[in-house]
Chain A
Amino acid sequence: MSDNAPLVIVGTGLAGYNLAKEVRKLDSERELLLITADDGRFYSKPLLSTGFAKAKEADELAMQDAATMAEQLNAEVLFHTQVTGIDVQRRMLQLGGTEQAYSELVLAVGAEPRRLPWADDLGDRLLSINDLLDYGRFRTALKGKRKVVIIGAGLIGCEFANDLLAGGLEVTVVASDPYLMPQLIPEPVAAAVQTQLEALGAVFHLGCAIESLEAAQEGVSLRLDDGSLVIADQALSAIGLAPRLSLAEQAGLQVGRGIVVDRGLATSQPHIYALGDCAEVQGLNLMYVMPLMTSARALAKTLCGTANELSYPAMPVMVKTPACPLVVAPPLTAESGHWSTTGEGSDLQALFHDDQGRLHGFALTGSKVAEKLKLTRELPGWLLATPS
């Protein structure tokens, strides 16, 4: 029987470590074990896309190493350790050759960058950045180079474009999207961001498919379907993230876009929970910090004996494009509706209303960012408390 076994958290990103911190606020005694495939350093992931402007090495972004975290959390941290399987019946984790019992298990395994078909052939010439180790690898690959091509014009692609430009690099962005961040913002707002990034020197090839991507001399060369040729010293892939599902799938947990959890963050198997970028709560798989922190607090309570339901208010996302400050509340609560944009230049306010005229989302740039708080109060919550 495993009730005396530790609470085990798989993953030491923001989700894993913040859950551990929240648990410790409520229970200083319970045996706690964190397991991670990487080096277990604690760092702020959002700062990865601000590191070049500040000329930060990976080591400077790391805040605590695994041993310090273990001491602070009164926990054991197993790093460089891959969880290879879950025996749901016996409440056992397989760690390569050994086993580890759990009383309750939390999957905080995050998401994996989607890979371009050329990634295997190009090695370090085509990288993505989704954790501190990736960031260090990219900085190393970039030593002595100037021209970077970013593939992808979503939130992460745009943040890195801004940050690399601020760090003195030349940036070209290639994307099949017709405009920047089409899943988040309407075209006029995207145009304002693009204009400000172009003012810093960025070159955009939007609405283009890549026909070929090859190693060329020290860097890469891309041929696009509009006939243009892009040459760069280094490529950065930013075409999105996919929740890591393999461990959950193999253990028979229900998965959709992410690992499916209920409002208590419980998976379809007893004693197993999930949160963060890998989890899907009522169809929502939100890879942002604020939902993650909200989930960590709710799950810590549940794990410490106070069952409770997760609810999300509307949580606007600050996009780190300082060239054109942008805050977005994506219209997650509307089935359909339309954007309307007002303002001038890079000071824009875009509002998303449903067909009945109710506000469901916004995108604000420049001086209009100041409207964030007022507008947020008008939005419906993303995950409402169920009436008791």
Chain B
Amino acid sequence: MKKWQCIVCGFIYDEAEGWPDDGIAAGTPWQDVPADWMCPDCGVGKEDFEMIEIG
């Protein structure tokens, strides 16, 4: 399981935890997060995701 960080706002998406608020189950790998999902803190879209792998 990896973590991904939004480079705009610092939000961390942890694959182990998913993002249940938006219906993304725990354990969802980054590539399976829906293409139209947006960073919950800054609204950056996934398509140009500006997210970096941090671990």
Contact = CB atoms under 8 A, between A and B. Distances in A.
- A-B interaction: yes
Interface of A: 14, 18, 21, 25, 44, 46-47, 50, 63, 289-290, 293-294, 318, 320, 370, 372-373
A294 B7 contact: no
B27 interface: no
B7 A290 contact: no
* Residue among A18, A21, A289, A320 with the highest chain B CB neighbour number at 10 A: A289
* Top 3 A-B pairs, shortest CB-CB distance: A289-B42, A373-B21, A47-B10
Given A25-B48, A373-B21, A44 B7 contact: yes
Contacts of B7: 44, 63
A18 B48 contact: no
Given A25-B48, A293-B44, A320-B10, 17 more contacts: A21-B48, A44-B7, A44-B8, A44-B10, A46-B9, A50-B10, A63-B7, A289-B8, A289-B9, A289-B41, A290-B43, A293-B43, A294-B43, A318-B11, A370-B21, A373-B21, A373-B22
Nearest to A320: B10
A44 B21 contact: no
Interface string B3-24: 0001111110000000001100
Nearest to A42: B7
Tell me the interface secondary structure of chain A in the complex. Answer: helix
17 contacts: A25-B48, A44-B6, A44-B7, A44-B9, A44-B10, A46-B10, A47-B10, A63-B7, A289-B42, A290-B41, A290-B43, A293-B8, A293-B44, A294-B43, A318-B11, A372-B21, A373-B22
Contact of A18 (B6, B8, B10): B8
B51 to A, nearest CB: 11
Tell me the interface secondary structure of chain B in the complex. Answer: loop
Give the interface size bracket for B toward A. Answer: 10 to 19
Contacts of B6: 44
Contacts of A294: 43
Contacts of B8: 14, 18, 44, 289, 293
* Residue among A290, A294, A320 with the highest chain B CB neighbour number at 10 A: A290
Contacts of A46: 9-10
Contacts of A25: 48
Contacts of A47: 10
A286 to B, nearest CB: 13
A320 B12 CA distance: 12
Nearest to A63: B7
Interface in B16-46: 21-22, 41-44
Contacts of A44: 6-10
Contacts of B21: 370, 372-373
A345 to B, nearest CB: 23
A290 B42 contact: yes
B35 to A, nearest CB: 15
B32 to A, nearest CB: 21
B47 to A, nearest CB: 9
A21 B21 CA distance: 28
Nearest to A373: B21
Nearest to A318: B41
* Residue among A293, A294, A372 with the highest chain B CB neighbour number at 10 A: A293
Nearest to B11: A318
Contacts of B10: 44, 46-47, 50, 320
Nearest to B42: A289
* Residue among A44, A63, A370 with the highest chain B CB neighbour number at 10 A: A44
Contacts of B43: 290, 293-294
B27 to A, nearest CB: 19
A372 B21 CA distance: 9
A359 B9 CA distance: 27
A133 to B, nearest CB: 19
Contacts of A293: 8, 42-44
A93 B55 CA distance: 45
B13 to A, nearest CB: 14
A18 B42 CA distance: 12
